[in-house]
């Protein structure tokens, strides 16, 4: 049951009473659940076979199945990039459906220092390929927060992999954290392409991607930040962005202790 209440006034704004609308929303909810299950099934059916196609293409890329000529390398690189894009999209759709269904897992005490170094390890492969400096500075006595571990890990993997992807070679990326009165504030900072002010809100909308010459060629889905925002909100936290074109970006994530 959904209840909406509003004051009821006459033409001059004098309060006459209140109005309440009682709506039976059972049908919407089950439709939402159905949509969610459908998206999860389709995403899973796509992600599994394509992940194996991708790893076969990567075997070819690494020359493990014999040396390739220039034309073959070019074609396989393009195929791997396209397939990689679809795998990323289906995994992200699966994540969103899981968050929406409340199926990411149970809350537990999380040491953000450990979790962030796990995320750093995961993205460091890509950072090394671009010769970027990637460092985490987390105080050893940082208090833990209560959260769903895989979901919070996803937040930092997404923010860090964005920092790596949207920063040119030899750039600097850092993660810091500090305890505030009611929770922990982390900052993921890069000195990459930056984001124009008019896009600061929009990048958190599903499928939105900034259109500019620097980032046009970077493969993406526009789903990473909506996932980040949703997880942070579900934890009672918030996310802020400081960024300008050519001046890099800093994403601040606040997570409450409880």
Q: Of 163, 110, 167, nearest to 136 (Cα)? A: 163
Query: Does 160 help bind ligand ADP (rule: CB under 6 A)?
Result: no
Contacts 24+ apart (CB under 8 A), 80-85: 80/54, 81/219, 83/50, 83/53, 83/54, 83/57, 84/54, 84/219, 85/219, 85/220, 85/221
Q: Is 191 in the site for ligand ADP (CB under 6 A)?
A: no
Q: Per CB under 6 A, does 215 bind ligand ADP?
A: yes
- Interface with ligand ADP in residues 74-133 (CB under 6 A): none
Residue with Cβ nearer ligand ADP (60 or 251) = 251
Please identify, using beta-carbon distances, which residue of 49 and 168 lies nearer to ligand ADP.
168
Q: Which of 152, 249, 253, 254 binds ligand ADP (CB under 6 A)?
A: 249
Residue nearer to ligand ADP on the CB measure, 60 or 162:
162
Least Å distance between CB 53 and ligand ADP?
20
Least Å distance between CB 190 and ligand ADP?
5
Binding ligand ADP by CB under 6 A: which of 80, 87, 166, 231? 166
Contacting range for ligand ADP; rule: CB under 6 A; set: 6-14, 67-75, 107-115, 162-170:
162-170
* Interaction of residue 210 with ligand ADP, rule CB under 6 A: yes
Given 110, 119, 193, 230, the residue binding ligand ADP (CB under 6 A):
193
Q: Which is nearer to ligand ADP, 66 or 246 (CB)?
A: 246
Q: Which is nearer to ligand ADP, 60 or 203 (CB)?
A: 203
181 CB-near residues (< 8 Å, 6+ apart)? none
Q: Which of 43, 190, 191, 235 is close enough to bind ligand ADP by CB under 6 A?
A: 190
Give contact residues for ligand ADP (rule: CB under 6 A). Answer: 158, 162-163, 166, 190, 192-195, 203, 209-210, 215, 220-225, 249
């Amino acid at each position: 049951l959904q209840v909406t209440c509003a004051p009821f006034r006459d033409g001059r704004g004098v309060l006459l009473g209140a109005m309440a609308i009682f709506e039976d929303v059972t049908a919407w909810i089950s439709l939402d659940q159905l949509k969610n299950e459908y998206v999860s099934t389709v995403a899973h059916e796509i992600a599994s076979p394509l992940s194996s196609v991708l790893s076969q293409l990567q075997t070819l890329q690494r020359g493990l199945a014999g040396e390739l000529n220039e034309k073959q390398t070019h074609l396989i690189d393009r195929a791997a990039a396209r397939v990689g894009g679809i795998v990323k999209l289906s995994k992200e759709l699966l994540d969103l459906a899981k968050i929406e269904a409340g199926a990411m897992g149970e809350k537990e005490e999380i040491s953000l220092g450990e979790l962030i170094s796990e995320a750093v390890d995961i993205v460091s492969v890509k950072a090394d390929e671009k010769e970027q400096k990637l460092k985490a500075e987390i105080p050893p006595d940082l208090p833990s927060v209560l959260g769903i571990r895989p979901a919070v890990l996803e937040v930092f993997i997404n923010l860090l992999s964005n920092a790596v992807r949207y920063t040119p070679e030899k750039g600097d990326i850092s993660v810091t954290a500090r305890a505030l009165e009611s929770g922990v504030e982390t900052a993921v900072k890069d000195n990459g392409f930056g984001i124009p002010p008019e896009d600061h809100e929009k990048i958190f909308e599903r499928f939105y991607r900034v259109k500019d010459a620097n980032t046009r060629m970077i493969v993406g889905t526009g789903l990473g930040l909506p996932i980040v925002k949703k997880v942070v909100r579900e934890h009672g936290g918030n996310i802020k962005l400081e960024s300008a074109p050519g001046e890099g970006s800093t994403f601040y994530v606040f997570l409450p202790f409880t």
